[in-house]
Amino acid sequence: MNWEELWQGLKPGTQFDVNGPSKCLVGVLPTLKGGRTLVPGAGRAYDAAALAADGTRSVVAVDVSPTACAEAERYLASLPLKPEVAVVCGDFFSLEGDFDLVWDCTFLCALDPSTRETWAAKMNELLKPDGALCTLIFPIGKPPGDGPPWDLSLDLLRDLLAPHGFKPTKVTDFPPRTHMDKAPFGNTVALWERE
């Protein structure tokens, strides 16, 4: 998948851009811990800005597409209050650091399924021992084999994360179309912490 090509000319609210923070994130945001936060596959950084808005989190928004990173910088500059968000243009799998929280909003479902175990290992590496991974599990119920976005489920994520000691400590189901109006699939937010 060439994400840079997909970002060329992408208008807010079209294709995979939801033109604002994920409604699922907004639904769980008050329950999430503060601290240093990572948003992989951040796109225009809508979610990164929402996570940083209350001042309890410094956020790193990462995207592999230079156009997405430029769009994120443009969006962040347009906000009346400047949230503490650093935009990093690069490969998630090359990142280093220690994070208190990672918000994965449709990042995993955009990755080729062959990279899922590597994704789980990288999340384990990037999170502090008491860190938390919050995932939007989407799309739930999409026919397998057609993506991206690739179909996900709570059981699939449990199988990926359990070898690294993670278990779901809070699971919040949202009605279909909550994350993306155009997509009639299920969406669940799960908070994962190490046992």
Is the C-alpha dihedral spanning 80, 70, 115, 124 positive or negative? negative
Residues 25-47 have pLDDT tens digits of 999 999 999 999 999 999 999 99
- Checking if the pLDDT of 6 tops 80, the result is yes
Please tell me the pTM assigned to this model.
0.95
Find the helix or strand (DSSP H, E) in which 118 lies.
Answer: helix 116-126
Residue 56 pairs with which residues in a beta bridge? Answer: none
Beta carbons within 10 angstroms of residue 13's beta carbon = 11
Residue 46 near residue 18, CB atoms below 8 Å: yes
Percent of the chain with pLDDT over 90: 81
